[in-house]
Amino acid sequence: MSLKKITVIGLLLGFVASIVGISSAGAVEEVPSVKRSETAAAQWRFDVLLDGKPIGYHRFELQHQGEQKVLTTEASFDVKFLFVTAFRYRHENTEVWNDNCLLSIDASTNSNGKKLRVRGSVDDESFNLQSETGSATLPGCVKTFAYWNPAVLESARLLNSQTGEYEEVAVTLEGTEQVAVDGAPVAALRYRLSAQAGDITLWYSQDDKTWLGLEAPAKGGRKILYQAVVVPERTLAEELVARRD
């Protein structure tokens, strides 16, 4: 059983919020309140599951600094096999955004002992990127796999904060359904984001486009789920959507 090459698409943040339960498709007439963060920052906290078994967590915090947004994220996964840790994953990332475009990124990853670093910043009208594969100059407005921002659903290319690859993506709205967030059913829009490593399923709330969940493929036909524990307080989420353009 090889777990060393488990794929975490886009990383996450990078990464991924998980669906706890999906019921029948269609609009939901009554939507219970969802547990939301009550701090000045927008926060997402997810339990991460591999084929339904908890392996760690992924946290996001988004703060406004004037016209800019600063995102910090931390992921920690440990996959055990017969009480032995077979795969260990750590990821930290800080991104600065303005007008829906990435101004800078500083991400570090330890994937089972393999260390990766992605750094970059805007210079004039270009984005200068450095990663383990070398340096690159990206044109125009760059976006990462920043699922917290619904604007990624309109993007044709996204920057992978783990590998530094600028990947082509395609996004399709597949329908509506109920998903569970911290045990409460929520009316959601379901999207399919097709990326280099496979298709990612994303869920956003129908009322304010808050990112609610994600399901992604892992090595060996497995599935990674991010189970939402906390999502942003409603007014913060609406503000993020309002500042998309």
pLDDT for 155 equals 93
What's the token pair of residue 90? 């750590």
Mean pLDDT of 104-132: 95
How far is the C-alpha of 122 from the C-alpha of 105, rounded, in Å? 10
**∠ at Cα 136 (133, 139), nearest 5°?**
145
| Digit-coded pLDDT (tens) for 206-239 | 988 999 989 998 888 899 998 888 888 765 555 5
Per-residue pLDDT at 19: 22
Using CA atoms, how far residue 68 sits from 62, 64, 65, 122, 231, in Å, is: 10, 6, 5, 14, 20
Reported as a pLDDT band with limits 50, 70 and 90, residue 240 is low
> For 143-152, how does the pLDDT look when each residue is reduced to its tens digit (9 = 90+)?
999 999 999 9
pTM over 0.75: yes
- Of 141, 169, 143, 145, whose CA–CA distance to 156 is shortest? 169
pLDDT score of 8: 38
What's residue 117's pLDDT?
A: 97
Average pLDDT estimate for 177-199: 88
CA 46 to chain centroid, in Å, comes to 10
- Whether the pLDDT of residue 160 is over 80: the answer is yes
pLDDT for position 3: 33
pLDDT band at 14 (very low <50, low <70, confident <90, very high): very low
The pLDDT-based confidence of 74 (bands split at 50, 70, 90) is very high
pLDDT(92) > 80: yes
Domains of the chain, with CATH numbers?
Answer: 9-242 (2.50.20)
| pLDDT value of residue 235 | 57
On whether the CB atoms of residues 198 and 223 are closer than 8 A, the answer is no
Quote the percentage of the chain above a pLDDT of 70.
79
In this predicted structure, the answer to whether residue 167 has a pLDDT above a threshold of 80 is yes
Lowest-confidence region among 15-19, 104-108, 144-148, 197-201: 15-19
Mean pLDDT of 123-131: 92
The string of DSSP letters for 139-167 reads ES---BS-TTSGGGGG-SEEE-TTT--EE
Average pLDDT, whole number, for the chain? Answer: 81
Q: Looking at the predicted structure, is the pLDDT value of residue 69 above 80?
A: yes
